[in-house]
Amino acid sequence: MQLIALKGLPLVKRGDDLGELITNARQKQGLRLEDGDVLVVAQSVVSKAEGNVVDLREVKPSPLAERIAVQLDKDPREVEVILRQSSEIVRLRHVLIARTKHGFVCANAGVDHSNVDPEHVTILPDDPDASADRIREAIKRKLGVDVAVILSDTQGRAFRRGCVGVAIGAAGMNPLQDLRGKRDLYGKELEVTMISPADALAAAAVSVMGEASEGTPVVVVKGASYDRNYGSARELVRPPEQDLFR
């Protein structure tokens, strides 16, 4: 399996056609896209292209946002955006862990002030699977190749320190793989019954992207093994009724 960062992608702005930016960049780089490749695209550039950017100067924080902002040592306007993106506040202590409207449980409901203009924040795409599919379809149209696309975000974990990449959107692949019925070296049923290839590829790709100013928000993965049947990245969300840690 090989991961190659796409170089030379311009700063993405509202209305940009990411499919076109990606095909142009890979051409300049002399990088060949092939059937079965997986494109991992950082949520931040998708949000920017789709206009999911909020100008904080137009946000009036509620008294609740003002109070939480003090507790979190954050801009109250940013907290207001976080609350508007949340369907449930799962934990509120020194960090705010929220459930987003998509069902994802993550810090700050996915609202991020990094890699966007000052006084602005990005919010998660409205429908990350659909965003991934638009990029997949654009690549298919322009280059005639069938790739899978993963939208990645960088998130913390409940019991482990340090963030890793996860998949918040997927197209052209099944983000969850069911191993039930598969056998181990000794013919016994496997202890692990379900794995997430999409999260594994997102983690790998985000580690190649980097988080800081030298970052490259698109990574091409070659030679990954995955199931090409469509599935939604929302299937990666543990349903609240199966959630042991609410």
**3-class secondary-structure state, position 234:** helix
Least Cβ distance, residue 175 to its own copies (angstroms):
8
Which H or E run includes 96? strand 96-100
Angle (nearest 5°) at CA 148 between 100 and 171: 40
Residues contributing to the site for its own copies (CB under 8 A): 1-3, 11, 91, 93, 95, 97, 104-105, 108, 112-118, 154, 157-166, 175-177, 179, 182-192, 194-197, 199-201, 203-204, 206-208, 210-213, 215, 224-225, 235-238, 243-245
The nearer residue to its own copies, 88 or 137, going by C-beta atoms, is: 88
* Residue 171 or 209 having the CB closest to its own copies: 209
Other CB atoms closer than 10 Å to residue 146's CB: what's the count? 15
Return the SS3 of 90.
Answer: strand
Angle at alpha carbon of residue 156, lines to 210 and 13, rounded to 5°: 45
Partners of 100 in the beta sheet? 86
Among residues 49 and 200, whose Cβ is nearest to its own copies?
200
Instruction: Give the shortest CB-142-to-its own copies separation in angstroms.
Output: 26
* Residues in Cβ contact with 110 at an 8 Å cutoff, skipping those fewer than 6 apart: 43, 85, 100, 104, 123, 124, 153, 168
Q: Are 24 and 45 in contact (CB under 8 A)?
A: no
